[in-house]
Chain A
Amino acid sequence: DIQMTQSPSSLSASVGDRVTITCRASQTISSHLNWYQQKPGKVPKLLIYAASSLQSGVPSRFSGSGSGTDFTLTISSLQPEDFATYYCQQSYSAPRSTFGQGTKLEIK
């Protein structure tokens, strides 16, 4: 099974900060990497697919990069509504996908 490891597990930042979250796969997954945002009590929302493609309707301050085993999600300038938990997901072995453990982004 492909394991996904995110870092950090939690992160404190301020409005306006640039934030980067990383995700590492236990084996190469090409660009089969998706990012989701989940706010407390809400349903996960797809942000980025295929490592770097922005889902329709997602603000351009979100971006993704990487291929192979190492990936990053970057928020260029944090907004109040961005404080949430972010998950990466590999779909290389879809339909048997795997999620990372999540990164909780909190207000400093």
Chain B
Amino acid sequence: EVQLLESGGGLVQPGGSLRLSCAASGFTFSSYAMSWVRQAPGKGLEWVSAISGSGDSTYYADSVKGRFTISRDNSKNTLYLQMNSLRAEDTAVYYCTKDTIVVVPAARNWGQGTLVTVSS
């Protein structure tokens, strides 16, 4: 069974940093691209960042480019999101997703999410 468990969320001041982790199990982690998707309180879903299975390729939404860094440690089956220069608008639940291609790419597995609150 696929399991994704995020951690690292919390309260941080504007301009601060936080690192999220997503521990994966139940599948061959290095074979799958992974993504971070966030949801601000009462709002919709926003794709944030993605990384290839090998970690060689990374992708970012314009809203976080230059501030967030996605990475992975395939030996530890763990996905990361380093968030710097945090802003109030980054406040959201952050989900990690396992991206599977069956005809087309889709997020078939989601973690439970971790809440990041940026506030003074």
Chain A interface residues toward B at CB < 8 A = 1, 31-34, 36, 38, 43-46, 49-50, 53, 55, 87, 89, 91, 94-102
Contacts and interface: CB of A to CB of B under 8 A. Distances in A.
B46 interface: yes
28 contacts: A1-B62, A32-B104, A32-B105, A34-B106, A36-B107, A43-B95, A43-B111, A44-B95, A44-B110, A46-B106, A49-B104, A50-B103, A50-B104, A87-B44, A89-B45, A89-B107, A91-B104, A91-B106, A94-B99, A94-B104, A95-B35, A95-B52, A96-B50, A97-B35, A97-B105, A99-B44, A99-B45, A99-B47
A36 B51 CA distance: 22
Given A43-B95, A43-B111, A97 B47 contact: yes
Most-contacted residue by chain B among A38, A43, A53 (CB, 10 A): A43
Contacts of A45: 110
B103 A43 contact: no
A73 to B, nearest CB: 14
B33 interface: yes
Nearest to B46: A99
Given A34-B104, A43-B113, A100 B44 contact: yes
Interface residues of B, number: 25
Nearest to A92: B104
Given A33-B104, A34-B104, A99-B46, 4 more contacts: A34-B107, A50-B103, A50-B104, A91-B104
